[in-house]
Amino acid sequence: TTTTNNNVIHLTSVIYNASGPRTGTSTAMAKIAVSEGAGGVLAKSATLVAQKGNDLPRTWHEDSNGAAAAASSSSTSSTTSLNSEGLPNNGIDYYINPQTIRETMAGCTNRKPYMVSISGKTLNDNLQMLQKIYKAIHEQQQQHDANPGDDEKINIAAVELNLACPNIIGKPTIGYDFEQMEDVLKRVSSLPCFGTTSPPLFPLGVKLPPYFDRSHFIMAATILNKYKHILTYVATINTIGNALAVDYPAEMKAVRPNGGYAGLSGPAVKYTALANVCMMRELLDESIDVVGVGGVQTGKDVFEMILCGAHAVQVGTCHWLEGPGCFDRICRELRLIMKEKGYTKIEDFRGKLKEWS
């Protein structure tokens, strides 16, 4: 459970999916919803209007021997991925539609939260999407109040504001433009649903790009801390932007759009992700939870993220390649590690990474 600002997201396990892979439709998300190991369901980042995304081929998978790999292939454990999807999605109206949420959560046996992600092409698009979400939550609550017991699962439990998409051709990553980042948070915080006198009406998270320089971590954290009254969590990291893969046999760029430059993910980014979780945990106000994401594919990876201070952990590339069975497997592995180490609950080791003397 992630807690702050009277704003709680009741995850049913410490891991859930990252936005992006296998999250575009209710059919795909339903498979996460039925997985007991997945503590929540997070939808694909939405734009105001549905869009197809970049031209194909826009993804690339390569195993540690340098061989091209395919999603759902047998050896996905050490596979590096690149994507320049360009935000293909069904538009915000689809992801907040009660019908979509009903289809997504139909087979879910516990009360895990359904969450949406937004990645507007402009600040105004983000503000419009937040207004739409606010309205949808309000309507869903009214519906529920009129019919208690009915449609309990049909609500939006949190919103993740993606400030880190690296693949919008011609657009900078907001999280790298601190002036723009501050402006976004300022405008978001002045929306009616984030009134300054009362707690926000829904938990809000922010998805960050990876940082590599201590001064950038400090600048980002300083801005985020200023808006702690509207922030429940910070998810770090998005893919490492503008990576390049070469299709060796073809002697070509592996990905077509955006000059071949694409977001890097998979085990290659785990160490960058751990550093971002650890440093953000150090710099952010304790009322803001850190959600770790990047290169997580085993229970050990989750354990390490939590040691570094993560309240919850998202799984992206591993879910993409292995499929929704990964959540149960990773949970099993984490439980085994906890048993071996004599821990009975997450709080026994969260943020308890030992320091050198």
CB-wise, 13 or 239, nearer to ligand RRO? Answer: 239
Burial pattern 149-171, b for ≥16 Cβ within 10 A else e, equals eebebbbbbbbbbbbbbbbbeee
Residue 165 a catalytic site member: yes
Specify the stretch interacting with ligand RRO by CB under 6 A; choose among 28-36, 84-92, 226-234, 267-275.
84-92
Tokens encoding 193: 């649903």
Nearest to 50 by CA among 86, 21, 18, 19: 86
| Binding-residue pattern over the window 149 to 168 for ligand RRO, x denoting contact by CB under 6 A | -------------x-xxxx-
CB-wise, 160 or 304, nearer to ligand RRO? Answer: 160
Question: Contact between 243 and ligand RRO (CB under 6 A)?
Answer: no
Q: How far is the CB of 263 from ligand RRO (least distance, A)?
A: 3
Q: How far is the CB of 85 from ligand RRO (least distance, A)?
A: 3
| Binding-residue pattern over the window 292 to 331 for ligand RRO, x denoting contact by CB under 6 A | ----------------------------------------
Backbone angles phi, psi at 4, to 5 degrees: -175, 165
Pairing of strands 15-17, 312-315: parallel
10-69: contacts with ligand RRO (CB under 6 A): 20, 45
CB-wise, 94 or 343, nearer to ligand RRO? Answer: 94
| Binding-residue pattern over the window 183 to 222 for ligand RRO, x denoting contact by CB under 6 A | ----------------------------------------
Q: How many beta carbons lie within 10 A of that of residue 297, not counting itself?
A: 25
Residues in the chain: 357
Question: Contact between 173 and ligand RRO (CB under 6 A)?
Answer: no
* Given 165, 278, 308, 331, the catalytic residue: 165
Residue 240 CA: distances (Å) to CA of 253, 279, 316: 17, 17, 13
Strand order in the sheet with 204-208: 15-17, 312-315, 289-293, 233-236, 204-208, 156-162, 114-118, 41-46
Per the CB < 8 A criterion, the answer to whether 279 and 217 are in contact is yes
By CB under 6 A, name the binding residues for ligand RRO. 20, 45, 83-87, 119, 162, 164-167, 238-239, 263
